Amino acid sequence: MSQQYRSRPLGSDVALSEAYDTALLDLDGVVYAGGHAIVHAVESLGSAREGGMHLAYVTNNALRTPDAVAEHLTELGVPAEATDVITSAQAVARLMADQLPSGARVLVVGGEGLRVALRERGLVPVESADDDPVAVVQGFGGPDLPWGRFAEAAYAISRGAVWFASNTDLTIPGARGIAPGNGAAVEVVRIATGAEPQVAGKPLPPMHRETVLRTGAKRPLVVGDRLDTDIEGAFNGGVDSLLVLTGVTDAAQLIAAEPRYRPTYVDRDLRGLLTEQPEVSEDGDGFRCGGWTAGVRGEVLVLDGEGDAIDGLRALCAAAWTHAGEGACGLDARKAVARLDL
């Protein structure tokens, strides 16, 4: 398109697993939630792999090591090696190693994934502000992370330690719903210190750099469930993306998205990797996809027709994004979204 912004989801006349050499897959909300595989994920990834697509798992969750993540994926029925896993812990460790001398002490607020990644880069994890750390790194530590760890981080930062964070996702999906993520914990330390961390994870460039270095992808497709990490990260990296609706993003948020949050493709779940993507075409004053037509009447998005609900959502995105241009769509989409029953 000639626009500097995406005005509609794109179509593809071949399956996405054939159009792209590597899928850069988010984990939480895409492959699994709360430790359990998301419906259709295992068989879809298996088929994509058998068809020749390289699968890489890219996660902002810094809690577990790549070995542990690969073991979990394999247990779920998605065979994976540690080298297939890229974490924000690895990205932030590289960012820190570029700035700190080898052997530098780093106070860790997080899990084993951070400690392993730091050691791989020649940095020394410590547990207390009294261990004279030159830096603090903060990553998701799970639901049992003691409150006192935030105090240790605040003490060290107030004494001059440089502050890093693996990522700033405010939420994380789980089996029981949406829980606070590392970004919420980062806010605790920010409030206490007034400092600002250097952040490595999606959607920022250090994570994209780490992913490209480790996968060697030539034509990657980012696959995620979050607009503000996965899709924005693809936008920042200049690569295409597929949003799946198995995690935190709902139809209303997608329709309202400003350009940096607009995915290349939209599908219900990971079966979208194995299929062609339908074209969204102009239809009079509106947009058509499958059996649906969407348009704007006054300040309201309207949807007519029937068929696959995802086609209706694609048409609505086209109408909303075109109307909004370079901004976020503020049109009333409640009735149109309700028709889709997603």
13, 21, 26, 84: the active-site residue = 26
Give me the phi and psi of 304, to 5 degrees please. Answer: -125, 150
Residues with Cβ within 8 Å of 58's Cβ and at least 6 positions away in sequence, in order, are 24, 25, 26, 27, 86, 87, 202, 207, 211, 222
Bridge partners of 137, per DSSP, are 108, 164
The H-or-E segment that residue 162 falls in is strand 162-165
Helix axes 66-76, 112-120, angle to 10 degrees: 130
How many Å apart are CA 320 and CA 328, to the nearest integer? Answer: 9
Bridge partners of 301, per DSSP, are 296
| Whether 131 is catalytic | no
Distance of CA 271 to the CA centre of its chain: 18
**Please, is 252 exposed, middle or buried when counting C-beta atoms within 10 Å of its C-beta (0-12, 13-18, 19+)?**
middle
13, 21, 28, 130: the active-site residue = 28
Q: Are 91 and 201 in contact (CB under 8 A)?
A: yes
| Whether 98 is catalytic | no
Q: Which of the 8 DSSP states describes residue 261?
A: G
Region of residue 103 (phi > 0: left; psi between -120 and 50: alpha; otherwise: beta): left
Active site residues: 26, 28
